[in-house]
Amino acid sequence: MSERTMPAADRPDAEEDEEDTALFGFWMFLMSDAVIFALLFATYGTMTAATAGGPTAGSAFKLLPTFVETLLLLTSSATFGRASVAMKYGEPRRVLFGWLVATLGLGLVFLALELKDFAEMFAHHAWPMRSGFLSAFFALVPLHGLHVAIGCFWLVVMILQLGFIGLDQRVKLNLMRLGLFWHFLDVVWIAIFSIVYLGGRIA
């Protein structure tokens, strides 16, 4: 049967169109998410001086732990990128599996260190209700952490799908979406580290 006489849904170009449409829809979701983060960055920028006599950015933030967290997240983007290369060029499934597990591990360590940072801030009475500055901080940074947690859960699901289903077209598409999501979180974290942590210590 020629491509001309094949049902439209079975044509290779139909599969490519479906994939492009799905990825475009996910891009739109990421753009809406970016707008939310942009609003929270703007709110944080207007509230940096509203400390109400409580902890300031200079006293509440520690650069070394957040720098380590930044390195972890950047490395996780590199490992996911390597997983994408393995998927694209048809490397053995165990290679793709290994890079996804490495990405998951880095993401979980990032979350553990971030939670430790928050616990230390609470121990020094830097909680959200203390001031407008801290309210804005805890609206922005933990939201990113929640996204990373969702990304880690998604990674677990994809690792299970890869093991039980294999690398079919739907699994590939979901991995491509997850890659976009994970790299987006990396970009947002770079902005957080630069504006919130570095900016707070310099100001």
The answer on pLDDT for 40 being more than 90 is yes
Tokens 């060029």 -> residue: 89
Give helix 132-164 / helix 93-123 axis angle, nearest 10°. 160
The answer on pLDDT for 2 being more than 90 is no
pLDDT classification of 59: cutoffs 50, 70, 90 = confident
pLDDT at residue 71 in the model: 97
pLDDT at residue 23 in the model: 82
What structural domains does the chain harbor?
11-202 (1.20.120.80)
Give per-residue pLDDT as tens, 138-158.
999 999 999 999 999 999 999
The whole-number average pLDDT for the span 41-55 is 93
The answer on pLDDT for 1 being more than 60 is no
pLDDT at residue 17 in the model: 63
Residue with the larger pLDDT of the pair 109 and 7: 109
| pLDDT > 70: percent of the chain | 91
pTM listed for this prediction:
0.88
The answer on pLDDT for 5 being more than 70 is no
Token pair of 36 as six digits: 């939310």
